[in-house]
Amino acid sequence: MTERDREPSGTPSDGGPSPPGKGLSQLKDRLAAARARDERSTGGKRDTDASGIGIAMRVGIELAGTLAVGVGIGWLLDRWLGTGPWLLVVFFFLGSAAGILNVYRAVKNIGLDPAYRREPDEAAGDEDKDESGGR
């Protein structure tokens, strides 16, 4: 293997530093070309919605995870405090409620046009603008 083979691509072979911005401009050109190819191949449309199996996996994992965390916390507190199964039962219901809330949040926008999907923070920001005179 020669010395030239060990050099990373994009560095000058004389060992001097590369001009600042040259590599960055090449990277920008390559990214623009890749985005243009992607846009041509998809016709300008991208499927940003999650697939059905992805949503089902997310819902299942979130529901099981929140339930397991709730039961685990209740069990540990019961062992530590010696309260029997009472905290386990309480945290089971708290974990169930948290899991159902997460599932609701995950599926509430399924089937809506992306133009109608808004985050609560964005909606609050729009109301603040209206109240302050539209600034």
- How many domains does the chain fold into? 1
**Whole-number Å distance between alpha carbons of 123 and 114:** 15
Q: What is the reported pLDDT for 65?
A: 94
**Is 41 within a domain?**
no
Average pLDDT value for the chain: 75
Q: In the prediction, which pLDDT does 53 show?
A: 85
Question: Which residue range forms the structural domain that includes residue 87?
Answer: 52-131
Distances (CA, A) of 114 to 97, 101, 118, 132: 28, 22, 8, 28
| Full-model pTM | 0.47
Confidence (pLDDT) at 72: 94
Q: What is the predicted pLDDT for the residue at 82?
A: 87
In a domain, 36, yes or no: no
